[in-house]
Structure 1
Amino acid sequence: MDTARTDTFAGALRAAIAERGLGLERIREHLAQHGVKVSLATLSYWQSGRSRPERRSSLAAIGHLEEILALPDGYLASLLGPPRPRGRWLKRVPAQPMPISALWPEPDQVDWAVRQVDTSWDGRLTRLSQHDFVTVGPDRGERAIRSRHVLRAEADGADRWVVIAQVDQPDRQLPVLRPLRHCTVGRLVAHPEAGLVVAELLFDRTLCRGDSIVIEHELVNRPPYPPATDCGRKFRLPVREYVLEIAFDPSVRPVECVQYRRSDGQGETVRPVEVDTGGALLGVALDIGPGSYGFRWKWPDGR
């Protein structure tokens, strides 16, 4: 089979049909014999790329197509990728996601690091919810970030999540990555000169399409702790819900706090916020990304 035409579902289907010399009517009849009703127009749309199987009734045809076209089990299914977004998310999911390194200040260094790990599942995990909890110590240093992710697999086989962390001062020690729930550390790449850590978090089970998982991990800084004047997250792909909590030590409270939100292709929006009575900042963003979201603040002495 011509591999130049098989890097997409439509190309693979079209090439397999041509190789087998089958007409669409013959394929339609074969599917009907197995209780799967697909019109000739739909089959034509699938091989032209105008549409693809997404509904449950359409997805049921994939295995039978692989059988009649003498393709390996799961071959066509592996080329489908995540379902096309619908409704209000339609404009939020980019047709061609930006590179993983795009939102980082030194993209070449991030590119080098992510090539050492497996990022093949990154675009096939829907970010349903992400929650970061940051603690700031009495010395105004960032102690740790605990993160919780709720993810849904859009293809069979998803088994890992990639973490990227970069400290602002490269001369500081890199944070320690601690898996907390439903994951373990796989390959880890440390680049001390760039202040960069990239690591795989391996799920405790392999996901099937439609499965969800909750994973938690923590990035723990080592003294001297990096001074904290801002905290946020970069989003390469959309997240339905993002929660950011920053807990300050009772002995120190920041001033002039602002919440920022930056969307891809748009400017940054900023609004003033206040630390609550418990000494924390709380932000909740819905349908965020691509872009970034977080808080910035100053300390009483102006730093």
Structure 2
Amino acid sequence: MSPQPPLHPRDTEADDARTPRGLPPDQLSGLLRTGPFSEALRMAIKGRGLSLSRLQDRLNRHGAPVTAATISAWQSGKSRPERPHSLMALAALESILDLPATALSSLLAPPKPRGRWVNAAAARPSLAEAWSGLLHDTLDAVETRWTAHLTCVSRHHRVDIDAQGREHVLWSRQVLRAETDGPDRYIVSYQADQPGPAPVLRPSSPERVGAVSQDPAHGTLVAELLFDRPLARGETVIVEYLLEHAVTRPAAHQAGLYLQVPVRECVIEVRFDPMAPPTSCYAFHIPHASPAEARERALRLDASLRTHTVGLDLTPSRFGIRWSWDGS
């Protein structure tokens, strides 16, 4: 009997595909919900039936090389993926192990802060604190661990008001800078002036929508905009999206932002329909750390029935424009 020829790489792939999964699905799904990361990774590898050397080979072919020793350290809890190339390898591992995207990366805590970032992070409120509890339970459905690790370099926020004084569409564009390695998403947060259905979120490419949560009873919406890859420290990303009221448009008397992180330049613009110009407009700024220092100033409409306000070097705060009509 002649000896068998060595397996071709494609035969190896097929053999892997036939490997029985050795882990009860409920056990692995429980670990993917609660962690810890190292245990979830170890069990996912065990369930897939792949050796560490086989995983290393697969990662090389995915263009995300890490050593078998590194994977071993991750699953034993001796280290964790933090640098961008490690996070890219982790995303490839999720695919190789037949796991949903971000199933493992969502279990990672943010990297331990170092240097001047320690004091900066401590001074920033959480997203829930920045919104003064107004988002209620909607934040439970999204991953907010990276929100304080992104500084807003610039932001332009524009709201269109229709002929009935209702909010029609909101456009937002901002430039964000990562203050540490790893941020892979931005959280869109919104609250209407009154309860009702949430607007439709329409992101611009390349961001895609992740988890979404809304509470019509309070008019709130939170949603994840996922970047195409994790950011390295100091790297910037442009986030742009529309919020459009497709069915019911809520009455509106203000356009404001709850700023969780510092913003170098923030522009808020409101455009009114010619059939419903307001009788008064005011810009306001309420610092999160010192509400007693709130400021307000009158604004004028231009010939196109637009008004705007600009804030420079804003700290975490509430910043926006309010308006009224005669008798309202």
Partner of residue 315, structure 2: 289
Which of 296, 299, 312 is 1:270 aligned to? 296
Stretch deviating more after TM superposition (283-292 or 72-81): 72-81
- 1:95 partner amino acid: A
C-alpha distance 298-110 of structure 1, shift in aligned 2 (>3 A) = closer
| Residues 182-197 of structure 1: pairs in structure 2 closer than 5 A | 182-197=206-221
Which of 127, 149, 153 is 1:100 aligned to? 127
Instruction: Tell me how far apart the structure 2 counterparts of residues 83 and 179 of structure 1 sit (CA, whole Å).
Output: 34
Q: Displacement of 1:298 after TM fit? A: 1.3
- 2:79 partner amino acid: P
- 2:307 partner amino acid: L
Q: Is the 8 A contact 2:151 2:263 kept in 1?
A: yes
Which of 113, 134, 138 is 2:138 aligned to? 113
Partner of residue 42, structure 2: none
Instruction: Tell me how far apart the structure 2 counterparts of residues 164 and 124 of structure 1 sit (CA, whole Å).
Output: 16
Structure 1, unpaired ranges of 5+: 1-65
2:191 pairs with 1:166: yes
Stretch deviating more after TM superposition (267-276 or 221-230): 221-230
SS in 1 for 2:124: coil
After superposition, the C-alpha distances for 1:226-259 in whole angstroms (9 at most, x for unaligned) are 1122111111221111111111112321112111
Percent identity reads 34
2:116 pairs with 1:84: yes
Output the TM-score relative to the length of structure 1. Answer: 0.67
C-alpha distance 226-122 of structure 1, shift in aligned 2 (>3 A) = same
Q: Is the 8 A contact 1:82 1:154 kept in 2?
A: no
Partner of residue 27, structure 1: none
C-alpha distance 178-83 of structure 1, shift in aligned 2 (>3 A) = farther
| Residues 225-244 of structure 1: pairs in structure 2 closer than 5 A | 225-244=249-268
Which of 169, 176, 179 is 1:144 aligned to? 169
Instruction: Tell me how far apart the structure 2 counterparts of residues 119 and 111 of structure 1 sit (CA, whole Å).
Output: 14
C-alpha distance 193-98 of structure 1, shift in aligned 2 (>3 A) = same
SS in 2 for 1:193: coil
SS in 2 for 1:205: coil
Q: Displacement of 1:75 after TM fit? A: 6.0
Q: Is the 8 A contact 1:246 1:282 kept in 2?
A: yes
Q: Is the 8 A contact 1:137 1:249 kept in 2?
A: yes
C-alpha distance 83-161 of structure 1, shift in aligned 2 (>3 A) = farther
| Residues 10-49 of structure 1: pairs in structure 2 closer than 5 A | none
Q: Is the 8 A contact 2:272 2:305 kept in 1?
A: yes
Q: Displacement of 1:186 after TM fit? A: 0.3
Instruction: Tell me how far apart the structure 1 counterparts of residues 232 and 126 of structure 2 sit (CA, whole Å).
Output: 25
- Comparing both structures, which one devotes a greater share of its residues to helix? 2
Instruction: Tell me how far apart the structure 1 counterparts of residues 240 and 249 of structure 2 sit (CA, whole Å).
Output: 22
SS in 1 for 2:264: strand
CA RMSD of aligned residues (A): 2.7
Q: Is the 8 A contact 2:282 2:297 kept in 1?
A: yes
- 2:218 partner amino acid: A
Q: Is the 8 A contact 1:81 1:124 kept in 2?
A: no
Q: Size of the alignment, in residue pairs?
A: 226
After superposition, the C-alpha distances for 1:191-223 in whole angstroms (9 at most, x for unaligned) are 222322111000123212221110101111234
2:202 pairs with 1:178: yes
Q: Is the 8 A contact 1:181 1:217 kept in 2?
A: no
- 1:242 partner amino acid: C
- 2:295 partner amino acid: T
C-alpha distance 85-207 of structure 1, shift in aligned 2 (>3 A) = closer
Instruction: Tell me how far apart the structure 2 counterparts of residues 73 and 128 of structure 1 sit (CA, whole Å).
Output: 29
